[in-house]
Amino acid sequence: MEVFFQQLINGLTLGSIYGLIAIGYTMVFGIIGMVNFAHGDVFMVSSFIALIALMVITTWLGVGSIILALLIVLIIAMVFTSLISWTIERIAYRPLRGSFRLAPLISAIGMSIVLMNFVQVAQGPRNKAVDPILNTVIILFDNGTYAVTLSYKQIMIAITTAVLLMVFWWVVAKTPLGRAQRACEQDRKMAALLGVDVDRTISVTFVMGAALAAVAGTLYLVYYGVVNFADGFTPGVKAFTAAVLGGIGSLPGAVLGGLLIGLIETFWSAYFSVEYKDVAAFSILAVVLIFLPQGILGRPDVEKV
C-alpha cells in the first residue's frame, strides 16, 4: 500500500510534466492539424536555457533565495523558448501553410534534427547535472519499513502546474485571444473572413505551447537535475501519446492524458520492469488509437461522405 501511494505521488509529478508538454501538441494539432515534431526538442532546449539561467542567477548574480531564483529562471526560460518557437514557426512552418500535408511534417522533423544537433554542437554531448534543489522531503506516513515521502520539489511542480493551467485555461476560455483560437480551430477560412488574424493566432498558439513546454523543461531540470541534448525525443513522443490519449484538440484531455501516461509509466516501473516502461506507454497509445480513436475527451471525427 505504501509503495502504491509513493508511486501515485511520483506518477502524478511526472504526469504533470508530460501534461504541460502535451498542451503544446494538442493546441497546434487542433488549429493547423499538424504534429509539431520539434516540440519535444523545444522542451529540451528550454531545459538547457533553464540550466544556464539557473547558473547565471545563483553563481554569478548570487541570488540566495532558491524560490526567487527559480521564479526568475522560469520566466527567462518561458520568454526565450517562446521566442525560439515563434522563430521556428515563422521560418519552417508558415511558408508551408496550405501546402500538402507531408511537407510541414518533414519540415518539423528537420527542425527537430536541427534543434537537437544545435544543442549538441553548442553545449556538447555530455549530460549536464546541477546540484540538487529543494530536496527536503516531508514524511507523510511511515510504517517502520517503508516511508511515503513528498519532496518540496514535487510540491513545487504540482503548484506551478496547477497555477499555470488555470491561467492558460482562463486565456483560452475567456479572452478574445482564446475566442480567436477556438474560431480558427473550427474553421480557419471562415474565421479569416470574419476578421480574425489567422497567422497571428497561429503564432500565438505556438508561443503559448512553447511557454508551457518551457515550464515543463524547467520543472524537468529541477526534478531530475540532469539534462542531455537527446532528452527531447522520448518525453516528446510520450507527451504526444498523452495528447492523443486524452483526445487531441482538447486541453483538459491533454492534462488528463499526461497524468495517465505518467501514472502508467511509474506503476509499470514499480510493479513490472523498468526496462519496458516505454514499451508499455507506446503500446497503450496503439491500443487507445485502435479502440478509441478520438481519445478520452475528444470529439469523434466526422467522416465526410
Q: Which residue, 6 or 81, has its beta carbon nearer to another protein?
A: 81
Can you tell me which residue has the cell 495528447?
243
Q: Which residue, 1 or 290, has its beta carbon nearer to another protein?
A: 290
Q: Print the SS3 string covering the chain.
A: CHHHHHHHHHHHHHHHHHHHHHHHHHHHHHHHCCCCCCHHHHHHHHHHHHHHHHHHHHHHCCCCCHHHHHHHHHHHHHHHHHHHHHHHHHHHHHHHCCCCCHHHHHHHHHHHHHHHHHHHHHHCCCCEECCCCCCCEEEEEECCCCEEEEEHHHHHHHHHHHHHHHHHHHHHHHCHHHHHHHHHHHCHHHHHHCCCCHHHHHHHHHHHHHHHHHHHHHHHHHHHCEECCCCCHHHHHHHHHHHHHHCCCCHHHHHHHHHHHHHHHHHHHHHCCCCCHHHHHHHHHHHHHHHCCCCCCCCCCCCCC
Task: Report the C-alpha gap between 248 and 305 in whole angstroms.
Answer: 23
Q: Which residue, 139 or 301, has its beta carbon nearer to another protein?
A: 301
CB of 40 to another protein, least distance (A): 11
Task: Report the C-alpha gap between 25 and 40 in whole angstroms.
Answer: 9
CB of 166 to another protein, least distance (A): 28
Q: Which three cell numbers stand for residue 287?
A: 491500443
Can you tell me which residue has the cell 533565495?
65
